[in-house]
A and B are shown apart, each in its own frame.
Chain A
Amino acid sequence: MPASVFAPWNDPSEKPLIRFRNVTKRFGDFTAIDDLSLDIFEREFFALLGPSGCGKTTMMRMLAGFESPSDGSIELAGQDIVSVPPNKRAVNMMFQSYALFPHLTIWDNIAFGLRRDKRPKLDIADRVEEMLKLTRLEKFARRKPHQISGGQRQRVALARSLAKAPKLLLLDEPLGALDKKLRQDTQFELMDIQEKTGTTFVIVTHDQEEAMTVASRVAVMDEGRLIQVATPDAIYEAPNSVYVADFIGDVNIIAGIASSTGPGRYKIAWREDQAPFVAMSDKPFSEGAECYLAIRPEKVQISAQKPDEAANTVQGTVLDIAYLGNISTYIVELANGTQIKAQIANTRRISNRSFTWEDTVWLSWSDTAGILLDG
């Protein structure tokens, strides 16, 4: 691996900044976090992704110090921080509601944390100006939070939490309150600021697109456990489970029985009246094991004639077409009722579309397009 790639998680000599060790958190009878271990490294932009109630917010609140684990330990830079109260941690948080103090100006909001450290007045002023500049808020310093727009509030919240130069910045659904266009711009701004300041960011989100865009690594969570921790492209291209494949993006999932036909090559019997599919897999499957073939719709080709060289082909009729502007999704129903989605980029104008409802078409994909999962 080339040295320029940022991947401390692959380097065994690297010491993690945050280390969750067998952390369990129970609220009464409810287990929010279940025996979870996780390392996060310095300068990472780490995303905790999952549906609401999966425990991602609890993880973040334990890092901030608002909750303490029922079991296990949490280390920050090698020190156990479980017993350290939130106001004594070198960790700052950007709240989902922003939690800007309504009675203070933008300037005073940003200076709030610095003043708690009893720093010299001049230092505080310098640091606040620096933060205002970083977030392009110089013009609004004397305003109160209700006198600025939602996007500006978001930047104030960011500036305030970064002002103390924390070792770790926590962001709780930081873009949830913004509309879609602004959210995309802000995502890039966040990445830019993260890079400039070199701070470790941990972001909590339920928006998979957001996690994929900003993060160096994504942890997919469900019911208090980590399902997969990997880089965005690995999560998308090589999900380790049906849950992850299904949670991130669109996917066709076909259940079948695996049997080996060569090294790393498998045949998946999925219907008696259909030919088996062929797929490559690094993961070994025993003969006759239950498996799931996951194929992204954009990896499925659609054509009028049966293609000659494809490893997998099936015939069906177009059931539905969803036009999404840049792409179109075709839902094709096979003779046995199975539905498969195929996605095609709309490089031509819509009037020239080659397929329409009720057309008989061929779907095809290569033996490396899909990924074989065991559940």
Chain B
Amino acid sequence: MTRLSWFNVTSLTLGFAFLYLPMVILVIFSFNESRLVTVWAGFSTKWYGELLGNEAFLDAAWVTLKVAVFSSTLATVLGTMAAYVLVRGRRFPGRTLFSGMIYAPLVMPEVITGLSLLLLFIGIGLDRGVMTIVLAHTTFAMCYVSVVVSSRLMTFDRSLEEAALDLGCSPFEAFRLVTLPIIAPAVISGWLLAFTLSLDDLVIASFAAGPSATTLPIKIFSAVRLGVSPEINALSTIMIAIVTVGVITASLISKQNAVRQQRDEQTAARTA
């Protein structure tokens, strides 16, 4: 173990202060009495009340949630299939193009992805709305899912699948009974990633959404363009709180699992 030098302590402190102070300030001032967001005028939760009374925001939040659930689920199915094909599949015509299409959206600027999808939807005469946002989000999120799942599949011991076949499974049964349960954590992370990306996306949604559908990021963006507002601070605080609770819970669970695993292995070694 190494002791931290003053230099390391300073860089860590300053670094994490830089990462977290802006959000801390945002959270604190969401409880500010005054509409002037930079002057503290006493504690109040009235902006939360106003937010909950704002139907436009609630509608947008509902649309966003729907889009995120649908698109991340669809993206998880498609992305897992793609990962399986890429890692396990034998050669097939157009494999290079396929892997190119999986990786390209990861580095494609959002404005280009958004623009191209919008031009497609208009070109084929598809009415823009919740459906088109789901299609757009699924397309780029499936690529992220496929990267997460394929990195898990690459370290997957192939003999487990062969053992399943050997014991009488059809290839599909082997996937359902052996591969899927084992890679499930990666598939779930993929889903969470897709879900977050969808909740978060402004640019692609702005292109893909018609006048009939507004997502929360679109709503927030048009509101904050005009400047800082306490309602947005309140909304941000709620979103930050949800994410924080989620991430901390997830890391506690994984830590617990690691501890249990370690204990199990020690017992195993002792009873041997």
Residues of A within 8 A of B (CB): 64-66, 85-88, 91-93, 95-97, 99, 101-103, 112-113, 116-117, 144, 146-152, 160-161, 164
Residues of B within 8 A of A (CB): 157, 159-160, 162-170, 173, 177-178, 181-182, 261, 264-265, 267-269, 271-272
Q: How many Cβ-Cβ contacts under 8 Å join chain A to chain B?
A: 79
Cβ distance B160 to chain A, nearest Cβ, rounded Å: 5
Residues of chain B lying within 8 A (CB to CB) of residue A97: 157, 159
For A86, the closest partner residue in chain B by CB is B165
Q: A99-B157, A149-B269, A164-B168 are in contact. List 20 more A-B contacts (CB 8 A).
A: A65-B165, A87-B167, A91-B166, A92-B166, A95-B159, A95-B163, A99-B159, A99-B160, A99-B162, A99-B163, A103-B181, A112-B167, A113-B168, A116-B168, A147-B267, A148-B272, A149-B272, A150-B272, A152-B268, A152-B272
CB pair B170 A95 closer than 8 Å: no
Q: Which of B165, B173, B261, B268 contacts A148 (CB 8 A)?
A: B268
Given A103-B181, A146-B264, are A93 and B272 neighbors across the interface (CB < 8 Å)?
no
For B270, the closest partner residue in chain A by CB is A149
CB pair A95 B169 closer than 8 Å: no
CB pair B160 A101 closer than 8 Å: yes
Q: Is the interface of B mostly helix, strand, loop or mixed?
A: helix
CB pair B166 A151 closer than 8 Å: no
Given A95-B162, A101-B178, A146-B261, are A160 and B167 neighbors across the interface (CB < 8 Å)?
yes
Residues of chain B lying within 8 A (CB to CB) of residue A103: 181-182
Cβ distance B166 to chain A, nearest Cβ, rounded Å: 5
Residues of chain A lying within 8 A (CB to CB) of residue B269: 149
CB pair B271 A148 closer than 8 Å: yes
Given A147-B267, A150-B272, are A86 and B166 neighbors across the interface (CB < 8 Å)?
yes
CB pair B268 A146 closer than 8 Å: yes
Residues of chain A lying within 8 A (CB to CB) of residue B261: 146
Q: Which 8 A-B pairs have the closest CB atoms?
A: A149-B272, A113-B167, A116-B168, A99-B163, A99-B159, A86-B165, A147-B264, A95-B159
For B162, the closest partner residue in chain A by CB is A66
- A149-B265 Cα distance, complex, nearest whole Å: 8
Given A87-B170, A102-B182, are A96 and B159 neighbors across the interface (CB < 8 Å)?
yes
- A64-B163 Cα distance, complex, nearest whole Å: 10
CB pair B264 A144 closer than 8 Å: yes
Cβ distance B265 to chain A, nearest Cβ, rounded Å: 6
Cβ distance B108 to chain A, nearest Cβ, rounded Å: 36
For A160, the closest partner residue in chain B by CB is B167
Interface centre among B160, B169, B268 (most CB of A within 10 A): B268
- A65-B166 Cα distance, complex, nearest whole Å: 8
Cβ distance B139 to chain A, nearest Cβ, rounded Å: 32
- A231-B169 Cα distance, complex, nearest whole Å: 36
- A112-B176 Cα distance, complex, nearest whole Å: 13
29 contacts between A and B (CB under 8 A): A64-B166, A65-B165, A66-B165, A85-B165, A87-B167, A87-B168, A92-B166, A92-B167, A93-B162, A96-B159, A101-B178, A113-B168, A116-B167, A116-B168, A116-B169, A116-B173, A146-B268, A147-B264, A149-B268, A149-B269, A149-B272, A150-B272, A151-B272, A152-B268, A152-B272, A160-B163, A160-B167, A164-B167, A164-B168
- A99-B165 Cα distance, complex, nearest whole Å: 12
Residues of chain A lying within 8 A (CB to CB) of residue B177: 112
